[in-house]
Structure 1
Amino acid sequence: MTDDRITSQADLEQVWQTLMEPLGFTRTSLWMVFLHPDGRPHKTLIEVPAPDDMVAPDPTAPELLDLLEEWTTEQVPGGRVAFLRTRPGRGGLDRSDRLWAAALYAAAQLAGVPCEVVHAANNDRLLPVPLDEIDILSA
């Protein structure tokens, strides 16, 4: 994990790229990093394996909400969360990447935890999934 402050989406994308290189995933996972208010990342990188056929996590799942609330009150007070969804496959963002990002943004909002731009990675790309990508789902 870097000691550098993460102050922009580009900084965060570079951190995810460094942590995940070389790209290539055999299963779907959710990765989380918590950032201190000044942008320093906590040293713990959390991986939560997920079933490959999971459409998206439940943003109201108590386990997810409790994890977000616990980390930002006990481990990283006043912090924010950064999410990365990794999966097998190739190409750009697909509907499942957008559904996952929408669920993760919703979970952070429900938990009252500020959320960085969600990212998604597969075997050949790591991309941001900003909120305007989520709007495509309802178009």
Structure 2
Amino acid sequence: MNSSSREPFSPVLATDADVTTMWRTIINPLGWHTWRVYFMLVDPDGHPHPQLVEVDEMPETFDSEDAVRFVEFLSMLADDLGGDSCSVALMFARPGDGGLSDGDRALCCELYAAAKDAGLRLELLHVATDTAITPAPMDEVLPRTA
């Protein structure tokens, strides 16, 4: 809830900046002892569902098979909600500080690729550390071709 107005926090996720603002508003304080993931399903009109799902004790790395299985799970949830028109807002949280690590980029790369193959729309991925919530845009995490 917004403490000043007592109105529930109900963002519309129309831009990547809106997604970043949402994560920075609802996830606090920062700091984790284990890896975890948070996600919300988002209606076609940009309204996230009020249920925030937290999965703790996630593995520190995702290979392509892990990413495919996780995206299949998310796709089933999105299909139940509204099919192809829904998207998923997803944030990984890990112990430590700093911005995106090479491991964070690899994890996000695997997820973006698996989601694309499955036809699942992901909102801008984010990684949270003990000190910051950092966006992980697709063009910054996908491998560069020469």
TM-score by length of 1: 0.86
Distance (Å, rounded) in 2 between the aligned partners of 1:116 and 1:125: 19
Cα shift at 1:128: 0.4
Q: Is the 8 A contact 1:98 1:137 kept in 2?
A: no
Q: Is the 8 A contact 1:120 1:127 kept in 2?
A: yes
Distance (Å, rounded) in 2 between the aligned partners of 1:113 and 1:13: 19
Among all aligned residue pairs of Structure 1 and Structure 2, give the percentage whose two residues are the same amino acid.
31
SS in 1 for 2:68: coil
Cα shift at 1:107: 2.5
Residue segments in structure 2 that go unaligned for 5+ positions in a row: 1-7
SS in 2 for 1:59: helix
Q: Among residues 74, 80, 96, which one is paired with 2:80 in the alignment?
A: 74
Kindly indicate whether residue 46 of structure 2 is the aligned counterpart of residue 39 of structure 1. Answer: yes
Structural RMSD (CA): 2.0
Distance (Å, rounded) in 2 between the aligned partners of 1:25 and 1:2: 24
Q: Deviations over 1:17-72 (max 9, x none)?
A: 112111111111111111100000011111222445x32252222xx233222222
Q: Which has the higher strand share?
A: 1
Aligned residues: 136
**Where does residue 127 of structure 1 map in the other structure?**
134
Kindly indicate whether residue 111 of structure 2 is the aligned counterpart of residue 104 of structure 1. Answer: yes
Cα shift at 1:136: 5.4
Residue segments in structure 1 that go unaligned for 5+ positions in a row: none
